[in-house]
Amino acid sequence: MLVVKAMELRKIDDYRWEVPKTGQMRVPGIIYAGESMIDSIKQEEAVKQVANVATLPGIIRASLAMPDIHWGYGFPIGGVAAFDWETGIISPGGVGYDINCGVRLATTLLTVKDVSGKLEELVNAMYRDIPSGVGSTGSIKLTYSEEKKVLKEGSKWALRHGMAQESDIEHTEDFGCMQNADPEMVSDKALERGLRQLGTLGSGNHFVEIGMVEKIYDEETARIFGLFEDQVTVILHSGSRGLGYQICDDFLAHMAKNINKLGFEIPDRQLACSMIQSDAGIRYFNAMACAANYAWANRQILMHRTRELFQRVLGTGPRNLGMNLVYDVCHNIAKKETHLIDGKKRTVCVHRKGATRAFPPGHELVCDKYRSVGQPILVPGDMGRASYVLAGTEKALAETFGSTCHGAGRVLSRTAALKKSRGRSIQRELEEKGIRVRWTGRSTLAEEMPEAYKDVSQVVDVVHGAGISKKVAKLKPLAVLKG
């Protein structure tokens, strides 16, 4: 295997750092980060991963990383890379194991005073009614034939079964369905894992959060998104569960076995890949779409259940609650997109791993309601600080293939977080801040402690300052269910 050495970073401006093109790199690397972040980023293996991705065939312009960058499998988390559709590669490591792990934000007509006496009951109801944790299963039991319909239809399957509103579909990226999904490309083992996990939260950093709009930065965009100060909101973070994990695992194993047949060297076996137009590349792309559709259906069903439990606990109806989906974005995906590159339109495969689409005002893929202001971007932080709503920009389309950050980004491994939390009560610390929390896994709260993550406000300041997305609103957590 060829070796790509860790690179020195060259400052481009206040928000961008270059990994210079050297050795086998086909393009440079560009990392979006502030001055206060860069020293810790330099210590990460993730910088080397940015350089590694730059060696892959068909890569266009640069290997990119957002300010929430940290080490991942093959590609860094926070990584973005576009490959020519005809001559480039597709890599499961550039998508991740949790295909279409993503976030949706729902607003309500309620203010904090409307729920202040019911938060304990609401978070307990979420803990009771929303299946969470490793291997959790839900009340939806699918047959294989029905599961394949979920894989083809995505969110629209939930709509057909009375678990969605038409506006939910409109306000979901790709309308909750990648059209190239082919269930025949999904292994029996992956199908088996997906039979009983639809409508479940999962474990680790997956969560449902009741919050409030703490601050508005852009009044007009916030109005169009349906946001106002002191408003009660719900953020939901989950993915494709065991089905998506298995699809990634299946194709990584196949591609790794055939590394020597690629016709080029890769610096890390975790970058196992296939040419997009090869049989393996097409099969992975179509299987990945199945997992993406499963994830969108999963989050839609979780939101439906959340609507129901809010109505039950608060003793109100759907009209008075007014829980509406602002948007649903995915974080781990490879998309066939058209971008203007060197003055010409080119079809590319954009890998976004721990990164979010950020399309600008006027873009044809932004739904009608938001086209005048740009696509909503949802950036959750840790459970003790804040989350943000942003909007897409033209500069993102020009510089990052319409991409931006996806969250805070870890600074401590799960093992390091467990060690740092010893002797502390994370639950009590959060409650002292007025945040109620429930969790399923034995070590979840310690692994997900706020200090395990970067300060999301610093991450958002970078992408806002760089102009690849703009701040719309800041949200504050009130109650959190962790997987």
- Of the candidates 473, 464, 448, the one whose C-alpha atom is nearest the C-alpha of residue 382 is 448
Is the distance from CB of 87 to CB of 57 less than 8 angstroms?
yes
Total Cβ atoms within 10 A of residue 227: 22
Q: Is the dihedral of CA 110, 112, 115, 120 positive or negative?
A: positive
Task: Quote the CA–CA distance of 162 and 151 in Å, as a whole number.
Answer: 17
- Number of Cα atoms under 13 Å in the Cβ half of residue 143: 2
Beta bridge partners of 212: 232, 476
Nearest to 71 by CA among 416, 468, 477: 416
Residue 245: strand, helix, or coil: helix
8 Å CB contact between 65 and 353: no
**What's the CA gap between 349 and 94, in Å, rounded?**
11
DSSP 320-386: HH--EEEEEEESEEEEEEEEEETTEEEEEEEEEESEEE---TT-TTS-GGGTTT--EEEE---TTS-
Tokens of 255: 């591609």
Distance from C-alpha of 93 to C-alpha of 249, rounded to nearest angstrom: 10
* Active-site residue flag, 406: yes
Amino acid type, 270:
Q
Residues with Cβ within 8 Å of residue 419, at least 6 apart in sequence: none
CA of residue 346 relative to chain centroid, distance: 25
Which DSSP letter does residue 400 get? S
Question: Residues 96, 77: contact at Cβ < 8 Å?
Answer: yes
CB atoms within 10 A of CB 219: 12
Tell me which of 171, 351, 406, 464 is the catalytic residue: 406
Please, what is the Cα angle at 209 between 208 and 210, to 5 degrees? 130
Residues in the chain: 483
Longest CA–CA span in the chain (Å) reads 65
On whether the CB atoms of residues 81 and 59 are closer than 8 A, the answer is yes
Alpha-carbon span 341 to 205, nearest angstrom: 36
Measured CA to CA, the distance from residue 279 to residue 22 in angstroms comes to: 32
The catalytic residues are 406
